Structure formats: structure tokens, C-alpha cells
Amino acid sequence: MARVIGYNSMDGLYLASMEQNILDQPFLRVEDIKVGEVVKGTIDRVLDSGRLIVSLAEGITGMVDELHLSDIKLKHPERKFRKGVEVKARVNFFRLSRAHFQQY
């Protein structure tokens, strides 16, 4: 099995990879993620502001605002959300220029 990872329009050639780590990634680019899509990721860190930085794939991270962490305001989000824990999130917004999505 191979995955197309690019296209060279000058030569008319597709670039493909058979590396297992490329095949296992759910997304290769931010453009592959759609607004409204539910994605799985791993918590990379909890910021002092209460926001979460979530790793979706190699080179793609997202930010979850503290308003979307729970139905009620959490006083200590770092107790509930720890680094390395797998979470699900719905993409509400993304910014291509910053190469990460943000949930508002």
C-alpha cells in the first residue's frame, strides 16, 4: 500500500510513500481537516491560561479553548487533562497561516 503525499506539476509525477509512519497518520496537511469534523489527538501540553495544545499528527497541532473543555468552568483543568492523554475534539475553526486549528 502507498499514500500520495504530493504532486510535481512540472514533471507530471505524483510523490508516494510506503513508510508505515506516513500511512498511519490520519492527516498529512492542515487542509485535509474539515471544519465540523471530529478528530482524535493527544494532549501535548496544558497552558497556564487553561487551554490545551493537542497533537493531531506529525506537524499538526490544535488548540482547545478553556470554554470548550467542559460544560462548567474548571478551576484546575490541569487535573482533568494531562499530557499524553488521548482526546476527541470537533474542529470549529482553523488557520492555515499558523498551521493549527483552533476550537472556539
Share above pLDDT 90 across residues of the chain, in percent, rounded to a whole number: 23
**Whole-Å CA distances, 57 to 16, 78, 87:** 18, 22, 13
Is the predicted pLDDT of residue 63 greater than 50, yes or no? yes
pTM above 0.75, yes or no: no
Specify whether the CB–CB gap between 37 and 74 falls below 8 A. Answer: no
> What is the rounded (10 degree) CA torsion for 82, 66, 57, 86?
40
CATH topology classification for 32-103: OB fold (Dihydrolipoamide Acetyltransferase, E2P) (2.40.50)
Name the residue ranges covered by the structural domains of the chain: 32-103
Q: Predicted confidence band at 102 (pLDDT cuts at 50, 70, 90)?
A: low
Segment 1-51, tens digit of pLDDT: 888 888 899 999 999 999 898 888 887 778 888 888 899 999 999 888 888
